[in-house]
Amino acid sequence: MLNFRNTNIFFIILLAIAIGLDWYAGIPFFVYPLLLLLYSGIVFWGCYFVHSNFFLPVICSAVTAKKEIAISFDDGPCNQYTPEILQVLQEHGVKTAFFCIGSRIGENKQLFQRLHSEGHLIGNHSYSHHFWFDLFSSKKMLEDLAKMDREMKSVTGLQPKLFRPPYGVTNPNLKKAIRKGAYTPIGWSVRSMDTVIKDEKTLFDRISKTLKPGAIFLFHDTNKTTIKVLPAFIQWVKESGYEIVRLDKMLHLEPYA
């Protein structure tokens, strides 16, 4: 199994072999930079692909034969777009998961409360969603997550257990923070790329190719294109014989502490 621990052991052994060969017979100097490059490439892959489970297990889909999927949204609440998304979901009778940024709760308290009152799951997506979040110490990460918890609890009375890493990046520090905070890390199996794709048809074509049982779709409630494609996507999913269920129900998880 390819993970951080096994990778370290493997490359330590390779380094020891290289040093031994170099001592007795001599090897080209480029072997050492090559080992470092290979090691760095694997660790980079582990950090930036949330489904790799390189540092810790992250739930990215459900193991099920049922024709059901879950929809999730990141980065809200956003007063400009979240209300329209909620309206679409209400019209289609769909419950989803919103992984929210804590710093956006204060100025959108009523909207945030609406997420909960309308039956949607709310998860922790950090308080700051800082650009350099993945470089924080484990202590600073945990403080950031706990601050989001406090903001959410002050509005809804609930404390989230489900956590989605900002940018989907994981590393040893985040592993420590997640374990100390007793969070359940959640990823996705389908990244819509709705923050990049601005053409409605292109976005729909991308996400409609990846429908399968247990899939977790990642959208953002901070984009106009998402609002445009969401009704057609929901309708297409249902016409394909699938049911859209709330994330915690599909994964059989307790969403709140």
Which positions ≥6 away from 77 have C-beta within 8 Å?
98, 100, 104, 105, 108, 111, 112, 115, 221
Dump the DSSP string for 85-124: HHHHHHHHT---EEEE-GGGTGGGHHHHHHHHHTT-EEEE
67: three-class secondary structure by DSSP: coil
Q: Tell me the C-alpha distance between 225 and 201, whole Å.
A: 10
Q: How far apart are CA 221 and CA 80, in angstroms?
A: 9
Strand partners of residue 97:
72, 121
From the CA atom positions of the chain, what is the Rg in Å? 21
Closest Cα to residue 166, out of 207, 124, 138, 221? 124
* 214 φ/ψ angles, rounded to the nearest 5 degrees: 85, 5
The residues assigned a catalytic role are 74, 220
Are the C-beta atoms of 74 and 125 separated by less than 8 Å? yes
188 phi, psi to nearest 5 deg: -160, 160
